[in-house]
Homo-oligomer: A and B are copies of this chain.
Amino acid sequence: MRLILASANPGKLREFGEAASRHGIAVEQLPGIQSLPPCVEDGLTFEANAHKKALHYSVFVKGPVFADDSGIAVEALAGAPGVRSARFAGPHANDQANNQELLAKLAAAGLEHVPARRLAHYLCVIALAERGRLLTSVEGRADGLILGEPRGSGGFGYDPLFFYPPLGKTFAELTPQEKFAVSHRGEAFRKLLDYLLRTA
């Protein structure tokens, strides 16, 4: 089986590709995605954005196309940054600026020494579409808490601040394989594979 990823992110292609290959499924990037009209990700939820992206790109190619949208929600910030995770510190913010913004907002929210305020979860929604029709939508979640300072150099996004208690490490301290085994994105993708293998 061949599955098309609607993303220009090489990290995602590698992660998804490795996991899918074990089930005889090949993941390929949507050819020429960067020259197609872009999808405006203005949804209020991860689900809305993932659906929008998968549907948008599915009309340009034959076969099933999947897209993911993901981000982090922090307890003390009432679920922020949420869908604004990638641009929390501004429209073109990088990971470091977003991480600093998160720590600043946490400090401003107060009670930093109370870990319940630091609880956070990553969410990932993956949508699968074909020729403008939504086939399925699945969700993955990873629960952790925000540390006081970044730790580790792996991963991306808020990974250096996202501490995963069962392993006693931040997501940035895990190998890509360790991370995918417990991450929101890994969980969602395993659900997508379940769907594909069940309906194949």
Contacts and interface: CB of A to CB of B under 8 A. Distances in A.
Interface of A: 112-116, 118-119, 143-149, 151, 163, 165-168, 182
Given A115-B145, A149-B168, 7 more contacts: A112-B166, A113-B166, A114-B143, A115-B144, A116-B143, A146-B165, A163-B168
A142 to B, nearest CB: 8
State the number of copies, please: 2
Contacts of A166: 112-113, 148
Nearest to A146: B165
A162 to B, nearest CB: 11
Given A115-B119, A116-B119, A168 B143 contact: no
Nearest to A116: B119
Contacts of A116: 116, 119, 143
Contacts of A163: 165, 168
A95 to B, nearest CB: 19
A147 B165 contact: yes
B147 A168 contact: yes
18 contacts: A112-B166, A113-B182, A115-B119, A115-B143, A115-B144, A115-B165, A116-B143, A118-B165, A145-B145, A145-B165, A146-B165, A147-B165, A148-B166, A148-B167, A148-B168, A151-B168, A163-B165, A163-B168
